[in-house]
Amino acid sequence: MFKSLFFHIGQYLLLLKQAIARPEKPAMYWKEMMRQMNDIGIGSLIIVCLISVFIGAVTAVQFSYQLQDSFIPPYYIGYIVRDTTIIEMAPMITCLVLAGKVGSNIAAEIGGMRQKEHIDAMEIMGVNTAAYLITPKVLAAIVVIPMLVCVAAFMSIAGGLIASVAGGMITQADYVLGLQSFFDPYNVFMMFVKAVVFAFILTSVAAYQGYYVKGGSIELGAASTQAVVYSNIMILLSDYMIAMLLTQ
């Protein structure tokens, strides 16, 4: 088990080294990077917004329930929804969703090229396939996913406002007061750090699974599944490590 784990870690690191050690001309990356930014950003916008609205709404409802018969001011609902969303929910939930949607697609795309021997053909022509296939996807994700996380944070806070006011739990003025109370810009910095790290993980791990896939359609499906599972595990692990490092 540990032998296989260390083997895959080493192979993953060597693939990343290959992707950045001998980059291709920037013109080769531009079109692919724009396509990936469109697929990851625009293609995922609706699902990210929908999930974020309900996360904010549920957080507001649950915290309002906890405040019943307590001496905590009701405007704390807005404060808790804001900080919970910015620090944890927006980056983590968004990237877990994208690991399932984007990660499996990347693994299937690169794995299909490996099975059809497109990668072998490009290598014969002297193309650094690791750089050409993986680097544009990673760069596109690092640019677009923090934007999606920012949108997710806004939609989650808006969802909490809608649920709180519509449910009669709190007035709009109190909710806005909670949003403005005890604000620390450092939390936003943490959100973007997590977004960038998670974006790198979900794209590079998925690309690794697809790049080294062997066999037929069954193995390709397994590689797509493993890309999602391993990405989620790495995102959760890195979330804990970032929280430990940035909150000391």
The structural domains of the chain, with segments of one domain joined by +, span: 26-246
Whether the predicted pLDDT of 3 surpasses 80: no
* Whether pLDDT at 209 is above 70: yes
Number of C-alpha atoms within 13 angstroms, CB side, residue 18? 18
Determine the pLDDT at residue 1.
64
The model's pLDDT over 79-117, given as tens digits with 9 standing for 90+, comes to 888 999 999 889 999 999 998 888 888 988 888 888 888
Mean pLDDT value across residues 188-207: 93
pLDDT tens digits, one per residue of 5-32: 788 888 888 888 888 876 667 777 788 8
Closest CA to 141 of 13, 235, 75, 73: 235
With CA atoms as reference, report the closest residue to 221 among 120, 133, 111.
111
| 229-244 pLDDT per residue, tens | 999 999 999 999 999 9
Q: How confident is the model at residue 213 (pLDDT cuts 50, 70, 90)?
A: confident
**Confidence at residue 248, expressed as pLDDT on a 0 to 100 scale:** 75
Asked if residue 194 lies in contact with residue 92, where contact means CB atoms within 8 angstroms, the answer is: yes
Residue appearing with tokens 């296939």? 133
Q: What is the mean pLDDT of residues 37-41?
A: 86
Q: Residue 67: which pLDDT band, with cuts at 50, 70 and 90?
A: confident
Stronger pLDDT, 202 or 71, i.e. the higher one = 202
- Name the range with the highest mean pLDDT among 20-29, 116-125, 165-174, 188-197: 188-197
pLDDT in tens, 109-161: 888 888 888 888 888 887 788 888 888 899 999 999 999 999 999 999 999 99
Tell me how far apart the alpha carbons of residues 138 and 110 are, in angstroms, rounded to a whole number: 13
Report the pLDDT averaged over residues 28-43.
Answer: 84
